Amino acid sequence: MAKKRKSWQEKLADSKGLPKVEEITDKMSKRWGTGTVVIPAPREVDEIMKGVPKGRLIIINQIRGILSQKHGASIGCPITTGIFAWVAAHAAEEASAEGNKDITPYWRTLKAGGELNPKYPGGVEA
């Protein structure tokens, strides 16, 4: 029997033992320097995205900065932060399709270069 896939909202709620702060290893230091990296929980990324007021925007790197400050780390992980923003966007769309009006305004979160994220539900057109 096939295993039922988790909904986006279930994926968002699954913290997988996160957040955690880890030492930046040799392999990662070429790209990120030295110090520590925080791997956030999906809900933390979602909470920051939810807090962006109407008429304002946030860039994914700002979310990473908020997370690193919160956890006393050198940097916020760019990979997981981006993935969890994407999960938050899909969970919001899923909640909206179920009739929920109070969803995360993911369209206010931009990519590092300040552009819209084409991987969000509906792409740039939406």
Q: What pTM was estimated for this model as a whole?
A: 0.92
Kindly report the CATH number that applies to the domain delimited by 9-110.
1.10.10
- pLDDT band of residue 1 (cuts 50, 70, 90) is low
Nearest-angstrom CA–CA distance, 18 and 21: 9
Nearest-angstrom CA–CA distance, 15 and 45: 11
Q: Under a CB-based contact definition with an 8 Å cutoff, are residues 77 and 35 in contact?
A: no
Nearest-angstrom CA–CA distance, 88 and 22: 23
Q: Where are the domains of the chain?
A: 9-110
Query: pLDDT tens digit string along 22-60?
Result: 999 888 888 889 999 999 999 999 999 999 999 999 999
